[in-house]
Amino acid sequence: MLPWSTSGVAIVNVIWLAALVPTLDLRAFARSLIRPISVLPIALFVLAAAGTLWSDAPWGTRLYAVGPVAKLLMLPVLFYHYERSNRGIWVLTAFLSSCVLLMAMSWIVAFHPELALKPEAEYGVPVKNYIDQSQSFALCAVALAYPVAMFLRAGKIWPATLLAAIALSLVLNMTFVAVSRTALVTMPVMLAVFALLHLRWRTNLAIFVAAIVLAGLAWTILPKVKGTTETFVRDYYLYKELDEPTSIGNRLEFWKKSLWFFAEAPFAGHGTGSTRELFRKAATGHIGDQFSVGDKIFASAQVVANPHNQTLNVAIQWGIAGVIVLYAMWLYHLLLFRGQGLIAWIGLMVVVQNVFTSLFNSHLFDFHEGWMYVLGVGVAGGMTLKARFAETANRSAERAQP
């Protein structure tokens, strides 16, 4: 449901939880909650809930700001369940299948916009938006690199060809139809992680040279890629010289002000839901003097509730305490997926993608990208824990044999 519908995800979550609760072994579940991979997401939620007590925002705003963090409470439940279930791979396969179906729909909508499932849809984006679509496609394309490599090493050409064709189709859709700048920046990082972990240095060197050549050709001959990259320079110039609100300019302005807000309350932050009011106060002095002319709104006068950076989003509201919990959670989830195997690779890529895209967005708190993280880490993490337990049990059994 995730690539297609927000309400659908909420409904399915409620149904799944209702089915799961009667099966819980409360003692085993309670023991599972004391692990750092579960404690830290809970701690971040507790911090968000406690932060409502010292925030100056209206209570409705405070409680609303707790919502994006609440999804992290699903992580301990997912760890517990998929540590015991044999069907985790079904969930991961279903997500890939759903993204492939969305890709096909994207191509159709690119040529027939009237078939989009939402009014006034963007080019080639049948549902949601191009950022969510690109994030899903990028994750699937990079995740498929591991099984393709493993099949090729085993001499299984047809499965490798099929999965490579799916990955290439996803990349081609992002190249010719719709792609976010965040995906353009983070996909090379994810592929670099794959190369470092699973390829030899000579192969890495050859791929690096080929990637530079292909990137140059793509920028030269593909208008979609060229247009997307050229907006970086144009947006920065409009912001720096004319103070016009642009995607990059707004982010730079948000980050600069966010650092000021953090410096004002570095330890516990300004409280949950305080971000918009802080930006409103910071913009008040600009609207009406040299930063506004007529009806024109300048970048320095923008008022937002999201600074478009996960670290700053947390730092403004909960200070250094929140940042420590956030980074510790990311670290423990990264360490969870150390080792070999497809599931560990998928989980690793989910965390790496979220960490790097969170440099430019608050993706852990955004609905689509946040649930990608929760479901990806939760399902793959539970499966990884199950595999480790089975491996430990086998070793113990071997040692017990005379």
Gyration radius from the chain CA atoms = 23
Amino acid symbol at 236:
Y
pLDDT given for residue 292 in this prediction? 46
Residue 368 has pLDDT above 90, yes or no: yes
In a domain, 164, yes or no: yes
Instruction: Of 317, 307, 252, give the one whose Cα is nearest residue 279.
Output: 307
From the centroid of its chain, how far is CA 297? 31
Beta bridge partners of 156: none
Residue 25 lies in a domain: no
pLDDT band at 213 (very low <50, low <70, confident <90, very high): low
Residue 170 lies in a domain: yes
Do 192 and 245 share a domain, yes or no?
no
Note whether 169 and 97 are same-domain residues.
Answer: yes
Q: Is the pLDDT of residue 309 over 50?
A: yes
User: What pairs with residue 293 in β-bridges?
Assistant: 296
User: Do 94 and 170 lie in a common domain?
Assistant: yes
Please indicate, yes or no, whether residues 193 and 124 belong to a single structural domain of this protein: yes
In a domain, 338, yes or no: no
Last residue of a domain, one of 251, 277, 301: 301
Angle subtended at Cα 157 by Cα 155 and Cα 162, rounded to the nearest 5 degrees: 145
Query: Is the pLDDT score of 295 beyond 70?
Result: no
**Per the domain annotation, does 273 fall within a domain?**
yes
- One domain, residues 99 and 148: yes
Instruction: Tell which of 258, 283, 301 closes a domain.
Output: 301
Domain end, chosen from 141, 175, 199, is at 199
293 confidence band (pLDDT: 50, 70, 90): very low
Mean pLDDT, range 27-41, rounded to an integer: 94
Mean pLDDT of the chain: 84
Please indicate, yes or no, whether residues 108 and 182 belong to a single structural domain of this protein: yes
H/E stretch holding 40 reads: helix 36-50
Quote the percentage of the chain above a pLDDT of 70.
Answer: 80
76 touches 24 (CB < 8 A): no
Q: Residue 379 in 3-state DSSP?
A: helix
Global confidence as pTM: 0.86
Same domain, 184 and 244: no
Q: Residue 35 domain-assigned?
A: no
Tell me: do 182 and 271 sit in the same domain: no
For residues 193 and 207, what is the distance between their CA atoms, to the nearest angstrom?
13
Amino acid at 285: G
Question: pLDDT tens, 46-99?
Answer: 999 999 999 999 999 999 999 999 999 999 999 999 999 999 999 999 999 999
pLDDT at residue number 389 = 83
User: Whose CA is closest to 37, among 331, 321, 292?
Assistant: 331
Task: Output the pLDDT for position 67.
Answer: 93
Residues 100 and 169 in one domain: yes
Look at residue 281 in the predicted model and tell me its pLDDT. Answer: 84
**Domain assignment present for 336:** no
pLDDT band at 306 (very low <50, low <70, confident <90, very high): confident
Question: Which of 104-108, 302-306, 360-364 is the least confident region?
Answer: 302-306
Show the domain range for 105. 89-199
pLDDT of residue 287: 43
pLDDT digits (tens, 9 = 90+) for 239-259: 555 555 566 667 778 888 899
CA distance linking residue 5 with residue 367, whole number of Å? 11
- Kindly state whether residue 215 falls inside one of the protein's structural domains: no
What's the number of domains the chain is made of? 2
Reduced to 3 states (helix: H, G, I; strand: E, B; else coil), residue 293 is strand
